[in-house]
């Protein structure tokens, strides 16, 4: 099975659609890097306040991913 995407690059809206398609892996890697940054930060030496703050940010990050049906394990492996 094959799939072909076609874009009219003279149409500004389709140029944006094309960029979204070709940059999707870069975006997935950036999101993965954020996930790892949260994990690394939480394993570090943080005050209780800072730990709770980073944990809240991480929870919100995962909530946003879930709301947008983003499963990083499906995208990066």
* 38 vs 59: CA distance, rounded Å: 10
What angle, 0 to 180 degrees and rounded to 10, lies between the N-to-C axes of helices 24-43 and 48-67? 150
pLDDT number for residue 76: 87
pLDDT number for residue 64: 97
Model-level pTM?
Answer: 0.81
What is the average per-residue pLDDT within 50-60?
98
What angle, 0 to 180 degrees and rounded to 10, lies between the N-to-C axes of helices 24-43 and 12-22? 50
1-53: per-residue pLDDT in tens? 999 999 999 999 999 999 999 999 999 999 999 999 999 999 999 999 999 99
Burial grade of 9 (CB within 10 A; 0-12, 13-18, 19 or more) = exposed
pLDDT number for residue 77: 76
* 54 vs 6: CA distance, rounded Å: 42
45-54: per-residue pLDDT in tens? 999 999 999 9
């Amino acid at each position: 099975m094959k799939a072909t995407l076609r874009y009219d690059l003279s149409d500004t809206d389709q140029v944006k659609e094309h960029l979204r398609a070709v940059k999707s892996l870069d975006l997935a890697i950036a999101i993965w890097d954020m996930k790892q940054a949260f994990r690394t930060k939480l394993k570090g030496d943080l005050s209780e306040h800072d730990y709770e703050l980073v944990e809240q940010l991480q929870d919100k990050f995962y909530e946003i991913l879930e709301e947008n049906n983003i499963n990083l394990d499906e995208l990066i492996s």
